[in-house]
Structure 1
Amino acid sequence: TAATVNYQRIRLAANKFYYTVRYDILRPQHKQVQQVLQDVSGEGSMLLKHVSAPIAAAYDFLTTKQEEKQIKPPVATPQVNEFEYDDTYTSPLANEDRTVTCPNSERYGCKDLWVPDVYGEFCGVCENCGHHFPLEYHWYLKQLFDRDSVREFNREVTAGNPLEASGFGQRLQAAKDKTRRKSGIITFEGRVQGVEVVVAMLYSDFRNGTVGSAEGEKFVLACELAKLKRRPLLSYVHTTGGIRIQEGTLGVVQMPKCTMAVREYVDSGGLYIVVYDNNSYAGPVASFLGCSFYQFAIRSSRIGFAGPRVIRDTTGEDIPPDYHSAKNALKRGHIQGIWDRRDFRRNLHKALETMGGRSLYYR
């Protein structure tokens, strides 16, 4: 409606005014103001010390007991690992009373694993060889970010069938009904150990994480929001199967569109981090995901341009089993590191605190 459009325009203008004043006008003078306040407070504290010292000495003399004060033994406080995953969310897979065989059992002698342990306490990781079993994207939403910090935006942007491809409308509606979402990407704001981030998450449940017009638009809006608020931008790829071919050129054009948006964000001084998980292939990897200076992969993930089936159909040859492995991607220089899922939160926080991004709000 017209009222909603006007409200969004007013809200956007107010946000731009606020962040412009905060970061472009006030921030350059921040150090000078801090120095002045420090000098003033230092002089004031010295004057206050001369006045209050005699009073404090007299008070201590009158209130100090003659007998020795009883010294209480220090109370040991339990140390809490702030990066340890809690039990606020448990994968539904952990409710299955059965065992699962690790794919590396023949190579490393892994024993059969009890499913409630694997998908519960072990975060979907084989305790013997470290193989990572796939987990649903909900696990990352609940465990990776600070509790109650996830705030989704642009949820109303809806994937469509602009070329009216035969039968695709029904399949698209089935994906919407299954996920109760309107597109294959989730964009939200969240916090990682207090550090505020803007996140774009491609997930497998909606058309295998393929990118179309709606997904591209939401990604661009996420870049603009991160640039406006001086937040780091995280692209977490739970899964992506490439560009949605049913949209034709409208789908393909999302690659340069998203790449230009994220490059503008990076050129403005932002920090863009990409983390691959499960299967990440095709156009997005070759464009707006692959252009990040900081790319990482969860162990056991598979990364590449053409997937195994496409290569086999095109060349008639099968590729080696580890051709798309994260280890090979690291050897080729495609990614900068491989992360264990159990250390995802810790490593992400370390990256946010130590890697580039001169214009971030906490720099």
Structure 2
Amino acid sequence: MSWLDRVRNTLPFLARREVPENLWIKCPRCDEMVFTREYAENLSVCPRCDHHGRIGADERLRQVLDEGFALLPTPAVREDPLKFRDQKRYTERLKQARAKSAHADAFVVAVGAIEGRPATVGVQDFGFMGGSMGLAVGAAFCAGADDALRNRRPYIVFTAAGGARMQEGILSLMQMPKTTVMVRRLREAGLPYIVVLTDPTTGGVTASYAMLGDVQIAEPGALIGFAGQRVIQETIREKLPENFQRAEYLLEHGMIDMVVKRSELRPTLARILDYLAPHTG
């Protein structure tokens, strides 16, 4: 027994205090420990290195929309249409994902306003099976676009995905043309379609609705691409730049329009809506 333990035994007031396990968060970029409360108050952005952490759909909607927004109903789709099974049944994986989420799948749509400007906002949640795009994500995206068309509102989408959902095979890939058609309908109706790319946005989502916005915004440091860096390097047999597929690299090469910090995102979207949709809603 150490001397400190012996002192604690004789002096009860020096007993070890219980410290909550979730008091600190370790930043994945700079490895600094940050108070959870400070991290949350800073919109889940590291106050030391400005790393923008991943956040869920509900938190994203609270940060962007004015109070009083409403969620659209989740469209019903066929679950496990291919009766897929790997190490687990697909239905079991869905059940596990839903146990950790307040929503039925990875794409959530809300109707509300951004600093008083009406908008329909869709959010992809990477925390739900990597934000993967399947029948449910495609249906929810299209439901949001339909709402925007019916009510003459801009459609703003926050993307975050590892790509198509492998458990749904070709049916997941069919969501790419399906969502692309809805984006075209918005454009023909003269309604703004704005995309905010968050970390990470990859695969079939990048190859479809994620890169079709009238305005393309990205959060700082977001990973954005189709195939992974290792796959590309092995294909072209050349070493890629260190910041390849990051938001700042894409901005420099003209693939996106702006990189916006999370704290500035809400007023930036409001300003864009003033330009693009002064008479909608």
TM-score range, shorter chain: 0.7 to 0.9
The one-letter amino acid paired with 1:341 is: R
Distance in 1, matches of 2:253 and 2:141, equals 27
- The TM-score with structure 1 as length reference comes to 0.65
Higher strand share: 2
Query: Structure 1 residue aligned with 2:228, among 307, 311, 314?
Result: 307
Query: Structure 2 residue aligned with 1:157, among 76, 84, 89?
Result: 76
Percentage of pairs with the same residue: 28
Distance in 2, matches of 1:195 and 1:280, equals 26
Distance in 1, matches of 2:25 and 2:173, equals 42
User: What residue in structure 2 maps to residue 271 of structure 1?
Assistant: 192
Please report the RMSD computed on the Cα atoms of aligned residues, expressed in angstroms.
Answer: 2.5
The one-letter amino acid paired with 2:51 is: H
Pick closer, same or farther for the CA change 1:322–1:314 going to 2, 3 Å. Answer: same
User: What residue in structure 2 maps to residue 36 of structure 1?
Assistant: none
Does the alignment pair 1:252 with 2:178?
no
- The TM-score with structure 2 as length reference comes to 0.83
Query: Structure 1 residue aligned with 2:35, among 115, 119, 125?
Result: 115
User: What residue in structure 2 maps to residue 192 of structure 1?
Assistant: 114
User: What residue in structure 2 maps to residue 29 of structure 1?
Assistant: none
Structure 1 gap ranges (5+): 1-93, 106-111
Distance in 1, matches of 2:21 and 2:67, equals 23
User: What residue in structure 2 maps to residue 201 of structure 1?
Assistant: 123
Q: After superposition, where does 1:1-363 map in structure 2 within 5 Å? A: 96-98=22-24, 100-101=26-27, 103-104=29-30, 112-116=32-36, 118-149=38-69, 151-158=70-77, 160-166=79-85, 167-237=89-159, 239-308=160-229, 310-311=231-232, 319-354=240-275, 356-357=276-277, 360-361=279-280
User: What residue in structure 2 maps to residue 33 of structure 1?
Assistant: none
Distance in 2, matches of 1:114 and 1:180, equals 26
- CA shift digits 1:108-129 (9 cap, x unpaired): xxxx343235413322333344
Pick closer, same or farther for the CA change 1:243–1:141 going to 2, 3 Å. Answer: same
CA contact (8 A) 1:99 1:113 kept: yes
The one-letter amino acid paired with 1:172 is: L
Pick closer, same or farther for the CA change 1:308–1:100 going to 2, 3 Å. Answer: same
Displacement of 1:154 in angstroms is 2.6
Displacement of 1:100 in angstroms is 3.1
Distance in 1, matches of 2:251 and 2:178, equals 27
Higher helix share: 1
- What SS class does the counterpart of residue 221 from structure 1 fall into? helix
Pick closer, same or farther for the CA change 1:309–1:176 going to 2, 3 Å. Answer: farther
Displacement of 1:336 in angstroms is 0.2
CA contact (8 A) 1:176 1:182 kept: yes
Distance in 1, matches of 2:102 and 2:39, equals 24
CA contact (8 A) 2:27 2:34 kept: no
CA contact (8 A) 1:275 1:296 kept: yes
- CA shift digits 1:135-177 (9 cap, x unpaired): 333322222111122x111325256211111122211221122
The one-letter amino acid paired with 2:213 is: S
Distance in 2, matches of 1:270 and 1:218, equals 18
Structure with the greater relative contact order (CA < 8 A, sep ≥ 6): 1 or 2? 2
Pick closer, same or farther for the CA change 1:205–1:309 going to 2, 3 Å. Answer: farther
CA contact (8 A) 2:57 2:125 kept: yes
CA contact (8 A) 2:44 2:53 kept: yes
Displacement of 1:293 in angstroms is 2.1
CA contact (8 A) 1:311 1:318 kept: no
User: What residue in structure 2 maps to residue 28 of structure 1?
Assistant: none
More off after superposition, 155-164 vs 323-332: 155-164
- CA shift digits 1:307-341 (9 cap, x unpaired): 24654786788755411110011112111000001
